[in-house]
Amino acid sequence: MKIGIVGYGKMGHMVEQRAAARGHEVLWRANSYEELVAAVVNGQEVDVAIEFSSPAAVVENLRFCLSHGMKVVCGTTGWYFKLQDVLAIQAQHPASALFYAPNFSLGVRVVSLLTQQLARYEKLLPQYDVAIEETHHTAKLDAPSGTAILLAEPFLGEEGRYKEWALPPNAPEGALPITAHRIGSVPGTHTVRLDSAADTIELTHVAKGREGFADGALAAAEFVTSRCGVFTMEDLIPER
C-alpha cells in the first residue's frame, strides 16, 4: 500500500514507522496545506492519505483530498462541528472515501462497545451517577477529547437522565460531567465511572504509547483502500 501522510508531527512519524513494519511505503509527507497540494499536483499518487494534522487545518485538508477522489483516513479531532460539510464533499466525489474516528486504538473500540452495554444497564439502575474523566499530554489542543465525547454518547438522549455533556465546574444540572486533564506527555487515559452510595464501577483504557493509534489508523487504511464512501470504527470492528 502506498501512503501519503498529512500532518508530519509525532503521530505522522509513528504512522510512518509502523507502516514500514507492516510492509507499506510512504511516498510523501505533507506538513502544511501547500505541501499537500504540491504532493498531489506533482502526481505522487497514493492508495490512501492518513491525516493527523490539527483542528485548524483538517477541514481544508479533507476538502482537498476528497475533491481529488482520494481515500483518506482522518485521526484529527476537534472538527466534527463541520462534519456535515465534509460529508457533503465526499458525496459530491463518490470515488473518494473517508474513514474518520476520534480514536483509532482497537482497545478503545472495545471499550466503546463495553460502554454501550454499561449505558443499557445504567438506564435500569438510576442510583448510579455517571462521569467521564480523560487525561492527555499538554500538546493536545481540544478538550474534552473526541474519545471522551464518544464514550459519553451512549448515556445521552431525550429519554435518558443526561441530555448533554459538559465540562466542570460550569456543568449545568442534568449534564454528564467530563473532566479533562492536560499533564506532561500522557498518551491518553479515559475512564467511564458509574458511582452510587453502595459501590463504584469503572471502565478504564490506558494508552501506553502512540503505536496503538498508528496501528489502528493503518488497519483503517487497509480497510478503506478498496472501498468508497464514509466509514468509522463501527465498520472496521462491528458490534457483532
Catalytic site positions = 136, 140
Neighbours of 151 (CB within 10 A): 32
Distance CA 146, CA 169 (A): 19
* Residue 210, CA distances (Å) to 32, 103, 119 in order: 22, 11, 28
- Angle at CA 82, nearest 5°, toward 207 and 55? 45
Cα dihedral 56, 25, 104, 42, rounded to 10, equals 20
Distance CA 117, CA 59 (A): 33
User: Please, are residues 70 and 51 in contact by the beta-carbon 8 Å criterion?
Assistant: no
Neighbours of 142 (CB within 10 A): 18
Looking at residue 154, the DSSP 8-state letter turns out to be G
